Structure formats: structure tokens, C-alpha cells
Chains A and B, each alone.
Chain A
Amino acid sequence: MDAGPADFADGFIVLAGLAVAMAVIAVPWVPDARTPARHGHHG
């Protein structure tokens, strides 16, 4: 079956759900480190 607009909308809603879930998970999970903005050389 060909994909219709509703299928694409479903796909984007799943992506929005994934992003929201990741934002929620990031709160306890991602370290709250502050890295200095580096200037000049880089390896």
C-alpha cells in the first residue's frame, strides 16, 4: 500500500514522542557538566 499523509503524520508524531522521552530521560541521566567554550587550537 502507498503511504498517505496520515502515515507521515504518524511517523512525525512518533519522532516527537521519542524527542520528548529523550528530554525527560536527559534530566536525571545526562551529567550537568559545564565545559568551557574552547577557542583556538583543537585536536
Chain B
Amino acid sequence: MVAVRWYLRYGLSYRDVEELLAERRIEVDHVTVYRWVQRFTPLLALTAAADLRERVPEIAGGAVVATLATAGLLVVGRTSAAPLIPTVVLRRRSVLAGLSVMLAATATMLSMFYLGSLYLQITKDAAPLRTGLAFLPAAIVILAAAHTAAHLISAFGTRRVAVAAFLTAAAGTALLAGAVGTDRTWWVVAGLALTAAGLGPAFVAATSARCPASPPRTPDQRPASSTPATNSVERWASRR
């Protein structure tokens, strides 16, 4: 079964598989590998489909729970005298735009960390410390880019910075997609850093997008749409 999977997944020839098996002291002729592939491919396809089908309830369940939790938050927000997020705030376009940018940037960042570290550890057999070091340039770049973004926004506006930020993140993830499966491990590090260079400004654009519509702030009163995380990014970015 493993031999058939190697053949199908990695685009090896029957002779390649024969050689790989021989390295593991399993003597099998390439014609036999061919017969196995003919016989077991439909079975493997069925198993893969079943695997995916098994996960559908899990994925759908997560989406349902998230939707219910959001609905619950909105109901509490409408009925509570002192809501965490006044629902009227969510009707403002600038707030919704800021939240969308924040959601997309967070989704991209977490997925990048998840996929990047799994890739380096599973496929490249990198030790956890080495994997962490591969993310170090990205961590530095994301902070520096967020800092620069505060100034770029004052010069070019939130919209342009947000667009440029997401295009940069797209270029970074495209670089990662190109580097995956090759020996260009440095490209992975560069891809992570380039994606981070886009995400830092995206976070700052997200918080700045909702600023014009927000009421003036006093030190003890923060806009209801911000979270401690966005506040700290904004604070950091605006610090000089």
C-alpha cells in the first residue's frame, strides 16, 4: 500500500519505487509494483474520499458553533445595558471594513505559522529550534513593517496601504508555494518574511480603518470595536 502511495503521490516511476523498496530490503519487481498500482489505486481513492467525508461534520460543526457564538454575542450586545460591543458600531462601514481586514490578516498569519512550521518539521525534518529560527526574520519584519505602516498611512491613506499590504502578503505566500517541495529552504524563510511584511501593515490598516468613524478617545475609554490585541498593535505602531 505504501509503495502504491509513493507512486501516486510523488510521481515516481515503477523502477523508482522498486529501488526505494530495495533500499528497505524488500525485493519487489517493478512489474509487481505496476500490478499493485492497478489493483489498489481505486481502493486508495475510496479511502481518501472517506477520510474527507469523515471530516465534513467536524468542519461544518466548527462553523455552526462559531455562527451560534457570534449570534449569541450580538443578542447579548443588543439586550445588555453595558454591552462589550454596541451592535450599532458594527453597522459602520469603516468598522466592518476594519474587522474584515483584521479577520483576513489574522487568518493568513495563523495559517502561515501553522503551515510553515508543519512544513519545515514534517517535510524538511527541521528541529523545533531551527523551525523557530526560520520564523525569526518574519517576527522582526512584521514589527518593523507595522511601525512603518503608521507613517505610510498618514502619507498615502488606509486604502492604498491595505491593498499594498495584502498584495505583499500574496507575493510572500506565492513564494512559499513555489519553494515548498524544493531544496530552496532559504526561499521559505524569505517567503515567511515577505508575508509578514504584508501582514504587519494590514493589521495597522485594520485598526486605522475604523478610526475616522470612532468617537474621540480618552485615556480610559477605548473604541468598542478594538480588542486588546489591536490596541497594542496600534499603540506599538504609533509609538515613536
A35 to chain B, nearest CB (A): 5
Which residue of chain B has the shortest Cβ distance to A13 in the bound complex? Answer: B177
Question: Which residues of B from 73 to 129 have beta carbons under 8 Å from A?
Answer: 93-94, 97-98, 100-101, 104-105, 107-108, 111-112, 115, 118-119, 122-123
> How distant is the Cα of A30 from the Cα of B100 in the complex, in angstroms?
9
- B170's partner among A6, A8, A16, A38 (CB-CB below 8 A) is A16
For residue A8, which residues in chain B have a CB less than 8 angstroms away from its CB? 115, 118-119, 123, 180-181
For residue B153, which residues in chain A have a CB less than 8 angstroms away from its CB? 34-35, 37
Q: Knowing A18-B108, A37-B154 touch, does A12 contact B173 (C-beta < 8 A)?
A: yes
Q: List 7 extra interface pairs beyond A8-B118, A35-B211, A37-B238, CB under 8 A.
A: A4-B123, A8-B115, A22-B104, A32-B157, A33-B94, A38-B150, A43-B218
The 8 A CB mask of A1-43 against B (1 = contact, 0 = none) is 1111110110111111111101101110111111111111011
- A23's partner among B98, B158, B163, B177 (CB-CB below 8 A) is B163
> How distant is the Cα of A13 from the Cα of B209 in the complex, in angstroms?
27
- Contact status A34-B123, CB under 8 Å: no
Residues of B that sit less than 8 Å from A by CB = 5, 9-10, 48, 51, 93-94, 97-98, 100-101, 104-105, 107-108, 111-112, 115, 118-119, 122-123, 150-151, 153-160, 162-163, 166-167, 169-171, 173-174, 176-178, 180-181, 191, 195, 198, 202, 205, 208-209, 211-213, 217-220, 222, 235, 238-240
By secondary structure, the A interface counts as helix
> How distant is the Cα of A30 from the Cα of B202 in the complex, in angstroms?
11
For residue B154, which residues in chain A have a CB less than 8 angstroms away from its CB? 34-37
Provide 13 A-B residue pairs closer than 8 Å at the C-beta atoms, listed in order of the A residue: A5-B181, A9-B180, A15-B173, A16-B170, A22-B105, A26-B101, A27-B163, A30-B101, A34-B153, A35-B208, A37-B154, A42-B239, A43-B218
Q: Knowing A19-B166, A35-B153 touch, does A1 contact B51 (C-beta < 8 A)?
A: yes
- Contact status A43-B170, CB under 8 Å: no
Residues of A that sit less than 8 Å from B by CB = 1-6, 8-9, 11-20, 22-23, 25-27, 29-40, 42-43
B225 to chain A, nearest CB (A): 14
For residue A34, which residues in chain B have a CB less than 8 angstroms away from its CB? 153-158
- A30's partner among B51, B97, B217 (CB-CB below 8 A) is B97
For residue B181, which residues in chain A have a CB less than 8 angstroms away from its CB? 5-6, 8-9
